[in-house]
Structure 1
Amino acid sequence: MSIRDTIASAGKNLHTIIITAREDDGSVETREAEPYSYRLKGRDEKFFCYDIKKAGIRNFHVNKIISVQETENSFVPRWPVEV
């Protein structure tokens, strides 16, 4: 299953994801998050999610997402889930 398919499945099932992505500074971060949407920002496509541990919205360059895993942890949407 592709990264997009995994995110879409988690969004449909209202399950959190474990996302691993390269940050702008080159570091690699892994976090549990609620999946919400994709948006174009100029020429960059970004994925928006809610980081559970940091209690805030986060966005990632789609091309810097390394892996995504759907969990069995459910969530109540804070905003419309558009993935």
Structure 2
Amino acid sequence: MKRIEAELFSDGGNDAVVRMPGRRFPGVLVQGDSLHILRGDMAEVVESCERGDLEEARGSAGLLLMHLDALLARYEAALGEHEIPRPY
């Protein structure tokens, strides 16, 4: 393990916006349990598609998209608060 200093642009929470040393733009630090949930949500989409249940796949994908949109909104808000341009 190596200890470093990183810049924190949002509260710690489950999806903190941080900039690692040497990086121009911040990123989103996703906690392991939250990452596991995202992976499970994506697995539900894949499993529904494999079964041919497109209605269930669409619903699961919609929830996953909603979660990712919330992460992106948090990221963009943190960038805006610190007057950092978006990297895209």
TM range (shorter): under 0.3
TM-score normalised to the size of structure 1? 0.28
Highest RCO, 1 vs 2 (Cα 8 Å, sep ≥ 6):
1
Structure having the higher helix fraction is 2
Larger radius of gyration: 2
